[in-house]
Structure 1
Amino acid sequence: MRILVMGGSGLIGAHTADVLRARGHEVTTAARSAQAGVDRLLDVTRASVDEMRVVLAGQDGVVLATRTDEQRPLPKPIYPAFRRDMVDPVVRLFSAARLEGLGRGVVMGSYYTYFDRVRPQWRLAERHTYVRCRVEQAREGRAAAGAGLPVAVIELPFVVGRAGDRVPNWAGGLERWARSRAPLVAPAGGTAVVSALGVATVAAEALEGASGADIPVADENLSWAAFLARVAAVVGRPRPVRRLPAGVLRGGLRGGGVLADLFRKESGINPAHFADLLTAELFIEPAAGRSLDAAFRESFG
């Protein structure tokens, strides 16, 4: 197959391109800025349907692997900006893909949509603009694609690994903390974790099978304490991780929310409810059980 990978210079996009090529597919990469490994320049957040059709022409499938920062504070109200960056481009992309006769697509999404589906009592889409837009992204993107173009949504948890000089955007701060002499503290709860290579493999399988499913992925489920301890061990500064009391966490996040309100800003994840997420077990079952040792070393070693 001929596959276009949008966001092909990023951590997940680069791995996806490599895996697809290794499986015998012809891959074209696109990104908003010129750099090694990028074949075509296209800013998906700004490109029109006609501009997208140009890069999609002759392709059999498309992968959208661009990233959105859910924690970025923006002036209120933030929904129009998040929708402009997350939902509208996907609608245009799959409208263009349908017009060009593509037969399959993959969107790199978020595991928050998985939990919004299986834990409706958490009211994630109602409480968090980022989650609302992820839900709309999947629904409206599939509607634009139509029945003849199945679109799989890979629901991503924390992703570890490296592609060239690209590591997870949160890795630098966590590594500096782990290397410091500061005590390590973590709340109750935890998260699913997957390697970038694991994500790429699942994406390739979804394309080959023309899947239109929601696909939650996890290699391991880790408590936050275990996650932080693993990073500390990789950087050569192993030490105990103390429990962060839930009250302290809630107070700190609430204070940050009040400060943001004073400046009339907000982020995609609502600080008033963020502690509920951090203290929950954001685990995906069953986890694949693939070892993450190499991916942790790549991210933090």
Structure 2
Amino acid sequence: MRILVIGGSGLIGAQVVNVLRERGHTATTVARTARPGVDHLADVGAASVDDLRSLLAGHDGVVYATRTDEQRPLPRPIYPRFRQDNVEPVVRLCTAARLEGLTRAVVMGSYYTYFDRLHPRWRLAERHTYIRCRLEQAREGRAAAGPDLPVAVLELPFVFGRAGDRLPNWSGPLDRWARSRTPLVAPTGGSAAASARSVADIAVDALEQASGADIPVADVNLTWADMLARIAEAVGRRRRVARLPAGVARAALRLGGAAQALGGKESGINPRHVADLLLTDLFVEPTTGRSLDAALRETFPADNDR
């Protein structure tokens, strides 16, 4: 196969490129910034269907591996911005891929769409703009692709790992906290987690099978306390993680939401309802059972390895 990887220099995209080449496929990379290994420079978020067709010409499939910061506060209303960033580029990409006769595609999505299917009573799309747009991204992208171009959506949890200097966009604050003298505290609840390498393996499996499925991805399920403890151990500062009472966590998150509202801003995950997610076990079953240790050490290297 010849596959175009959009976001090919990022954490997940770079791993997808590696796996494709290891399996004997050809990978062409697209990114917004010139870096070693980037074949084409393009802002896919602003590219037209014709621009995308020129990039896709001669390929069998495409991987959309750009990332979105759902927590960054933006001026209200945020829905048009999130559609512009999350939904419209995928619709144009799938339209261009259909017109060029591609036969397979993979979009990196979010595990929140998995939980929306699993727990419709949580009303996730109604409460959180980011989740609404992830659902629209999958639905409208597949509609644009048509019946002859299957689009697999990988529903991703916390992803650990490193690609050059590219790290998960949420890792910086946790790294600084784990290395500090500030006590580590965590509420109840937890999350699924996966390594970038595992995500890449599953993505290439989906391409090889021309899958059009929703594919929830998880190597392990971790409580927040377990995750913090493993991060602290990775950086060489092993210590106990204290329990943060749920009421304290809810109050702090409500205050954050109030501060955002006073500033005329919103984030993709609504602070008024984020406690309902944070204090829940956001676990995915089944897991791959793969070890997360190497990816943890890549993301949070010990002091003497930095």
What is the TM-score with the length of structure 1 in the denominator? Answer: 0.99
Q: Which residue of 2 aligns with 1:89?
A: 89
Residues in 2 aligned to 1:189 and 1:83: alpha-carbon distance in whole angstroms = 29
| Distance of 2:280 and 2:63 partners within structure 1 | 31
Distance across 2 between alignment mates of 1:244 and 1:135: 32
SS at match of 1:194: strand
RMSD: 0.6
For residue 255 of structure 1, what is the aligned residue in structure 2? 255
Runs of at least 5 residues in structure 2 that lack an aligned partner in the other structure:
302-306
1:278 counterpart = 2:275: no
Q: Secondary structure at the match of 1:225?
A: helix
Letter in 1 for 2:168: P
Shift of 1:205: 0.3
Sequence identity (%): 71
Corresponding position of 2:72: 72
Q: In the alignment, what sits opposite 1:157?
A: 157
Amino acid in the other structure paired with 1:277: L
Give every structure 1 segment of 4 or more consecutive aligned residues whose post-TM-superposition deviation is greater than 6 Å: none
Provide Cα deviations, 1:246-293, integer angstroms capped at 9, x if missing partner.
Answer: 111111111111111111100000001101101100000111110011
Q: Residues 214-257 of structure 1: CA distance to partner in whole angstroms, max 9, x if unpaired?
A: 00010000000000000000111111101111111111111111
Post-superposition CA distance 1:141-172 (Å, at most 9, x none): 00000000000000000000111111111112
Map Cα deviations across residues 37-63 of structure 1 (whole Å, 9 max, x no partner): 110011111000000001000000000
Kindly report which structure 2 residues correspond to 1:5-84, keeping only aligned pairs within 5 A, or say none.
5-84=5-84
- Compute the displacement of 1:202 (Å): 0.1
Residue 152 of structure 2 contacts residue 215 of structure 2 at CA under 8 Å; is this kept in 1?
A: yes
Q: 1:207 aligns to what?
A: 207
Q: What are structure 1's unaligned runs of at least 5 residues?
A: none
For each residue in 1:89-130, what CA deviation from the matched residue of structure 2 results, as whole angstroms up to 9, or x when unmatched? Answer: 000000000000000000000000000011111111110000
Aligned counterparts of 2:244 and 2:274: Cα–Cα separation in 1: 15
Matches within 5 A, 1:163-202: 163-202=163-202
Matched length: 301
In 2: Cα distance, 1:256 partner to 1:182 partner:
20
Match of 2:304 in 1: none
Equivalent in the alignment of 1:3 = 3
One-letter code of the match for 1:258? A
Paired residue for 1:101?
A: 101
